[in-house]
Amino acid sequence: MQNYIDEAEKYILHTYNRYQIVFDHGDGVNLYDINGKEYLDFVSGIGVFALGYNNKEFNDAVKEQVDKILHTSNYYYNVPAIEAAKAVTKASGMDKVFFTNSGAEAVEGALKVARKYAYNKDGRTDHEIIAMQHSFHGRTFGALSVTGTEKYRAPFGPMIGNIKFANMNDLESVKALLTDKTCAIICETLQGEGGIYPATEEFLKGLREICDKTGALLILDEIQCGMGRTGYMYCWQKYGIRPDVLTTAKALGCGIPMGAFLMTKEVADNSLVAGDHGTTYGGNPLGGAACTAVFKLYEKLNICENAKEVGAYLFEKLEEVKNSYPQIKDHRGMGLMQGLEFDAPVANIINKALDKGLVLINAGTNIIRFLPPLIITKDDVDKMIVILKEAIDNAY
């Protein structure tokens, strides 16, 4: 294993501080390293492998498409992308979709939609976007510009202009930033990298009301918290609102690089037109086949219902852990996207857990994030809790 790690460091640009392990394959909710050691996975590739590993129906759908055609370019139609478009618009309640390769690209497209929509209304090019402090939307320049964590932006300035940052769940801070130039408000329905902070119902409904009154677009980023992770296909569906623009990715392709931004008919009819936006690989037949298979399996396996039921059990068990350790300051989240906040860095706990066969990740320095595959069972939660407690005990 160390030889592979050394070769990786020799040839791959070091932009990740990786855990010292080389995974080889997975099955269900378990991963296996190249030495055959088994690990219970509570990361799912940062929310990607919602269906777990080695799902035969999903694999067969992808393999079948590999033998047909992988790519045609967007100068032509392809059936898998059409079927995927029907599936994702139905599941989200949105009207139009543009497929991308990643979540960051989906955010880029959403920002272009907002500015083009506003430009078509008044012909101005000085529009402003309000984003949230501690948010995370991606690493490309547009997505980074609306990411509300200064350390990510600082080395790469100047960012794209006219971005302002309000406080999550503080409507007054949003209202204080509004001007006649405001064309959009972008918000994660449940902040991920920023520390597992759910938006409140009052806040989301307030944002919707602000946008309705001003004509600004409400962009909800559900790249991490969407696709059933909170027990709803998209987290905002819990609150009886609808965004004007939605971004989604990660579990959308369950391992095949796939993202999308979606919009209402009103926005679609008054924003991007032919020549305004494009992508070489987005919406290719392979991604379309994977995406369509995902939605079929979500329905067949009752994925959202399982995330809701097992998520409630996970919340109960993590509450017990929180109440057992004075070092744990808070417990937050929804469904199968939860976090424990400690009073000190959690890297040592995560490493101890990994040694014991449990895969966890952080969200910020002091927070352990729980993002298991959405097929997880209560028994899997019980196994995780045992190892987590041992890791905490050993770390302290």
Where are the domains positioned within the chain?
Answer: 2-55+302-395, 58-301
Q: What is the CATH number of domain 2-55+302-395?
A: 3.90.1150.10
Q: Do the domains spanning 2-55+302-395 and 58-301 agree at the CATH topology level?
A: no
pLDDT digits (tens, 9 = 90+) for 190-211: 999 999 999 999 999 999 999 9
Question: What single letter denotes the amino acid at residue 26?
Answer: G
Please report the sign of the dihedral spanned by the C-alpha atoms of residue 201, residue 207, residue 156, residue 223: positive
- Give which of 17, 20, 16, 18 is closest to 3, Cα–Cα: 20
The residues, ordered by sequence, that sit 6+ positions from 166 with a Cβ below 8 Å of its Cβ are 130, 131, 132, 133, 173, 174, 176, 177, 185
Q: What is the pLDDT along the chain (396 residues), one digit of tens a residue?
A: 999 999 999 999 999 999 999 999 999 999 999 999 999 999 999 999 999 999 999 999 999 999 999 999 999 999 999 999 999 999 999 999 999 999 999 999 999 999 999 999 999 999 999 999 999 999 999 999 999 999 999 999 999 999 999 999 999 999 999 999 999 999 999 999 999 999 999 999 999 999 999 999 999 999 999 999 999 999 999 999 999 999 999 999 999 999 999 999 999 999 999 999 999 999 999 999 999 999 999 999 999 999 999 999 999 999 999 999 999 999 999 999 999 999 999 999 999 999 999 999 999 999 999 999 999 999 999 999 999 999 999 998
**Strand, helix or coil at 6?**
helix
Contact between residue 279 and residue 105 where contact means Cβ atoms under 8 Å apart: yes
58-301 CATH fold: Aspartate Aminotransferase; domain 2 (3.40.640)
3-state secondary structure of 26: strand
Q: How far apart are CA 341 and CA 329, in angstroms?
A: 5
pLDDT digits (tens, 9 = 90+) for 301-347: 999 999 999 999 999 999 999 999 999 999 999 999 999 999 999 99
Instruction: Provide DSSP, 64-88.
Output: HHHTT-S---TTS--HHHHHHHHHH
* 267 burial level (CB within 10 Å; 0-12, 13-18, 19+): buried
- Other C-beta atoms lying within 10 Å of the C-beta of residue 54: 13
C-alpha separations of 339 from 10, 190, 191, 236, 242 in Å: 34, 12, 11, 19, 26
